[in-house]
Amino acid sequence: MRGGMGNMQKMMKQMQKLQKDMAKAQEELAEKTMEGTAGGGMVTVVVNGQKEVIDVKIKEEVVDPEDIEMLQDLVLAATNDALKKMEDLTNETMGQFTKGMNMPGMF
């Protein structure tokens, strides 16, 4: 019976370390940025780790009043590209903590 308590305490310490490591990884992700592009680099969108768009860059040669719909499509595509990359980075970073555990709603 005594050995069971020792194992439980060891497991609790491991869980606390895992929680601390996960929190640190989430903080580091929050500071990262990811850049997405569209139209061969004509439009660039930057998102942060909270999945917020923080910058949009459009090359001068793109701005033609007759092509406003194309420009809107490029901004949309670049935004989605940047958000997908940030999601992939988040999953890659946080996946090291879960390693097959089912933890819905954790991130």
Tokens of 41: 């680099």
d(CA 44, CA 77): 9
At residue 104, φ and ψ (nearest 5 deg) are -60, 140
Task: Return the pLDDT at 71.
Answer: 83
pLDDT (0 to 100) of residue 52: 84
Asked whether residue 62 is domain-assigned, the answer is: yes
pTM score of the predicted model: 0.59
**Total domains present in the chain:** 1
Mean pLDDT per 10-residue run, the chain (107 residues)?
74 90 88 90 87 85 78 86 88 79 58
Report d(CA 89, CA 96) in Å as an integer: 11
- The mean pLDDT of the chain is 83
CATH number at 46 reads 3.30.1310.10
Does 36 reside within a domain? yes
60 falls within a domain: yes
Is 103 among the domain residues? no
In a domain, 106, yes or no: no
- State residue 16's pLDDT score: 93
Domain-located, residue 83:
yes
> Quick check: is 55 in a domain?
yes
Domain that holds residue 24: 2-98
Q: Kindly provide the b/e burial profile for residues 66-94, where b requires at least 16 CB atoms within 10 angstroms of the residue's own CB.
A: eeeeebeebbebbbebbbeebeeebeebb
- Is the residue at 105 inside a domain? no
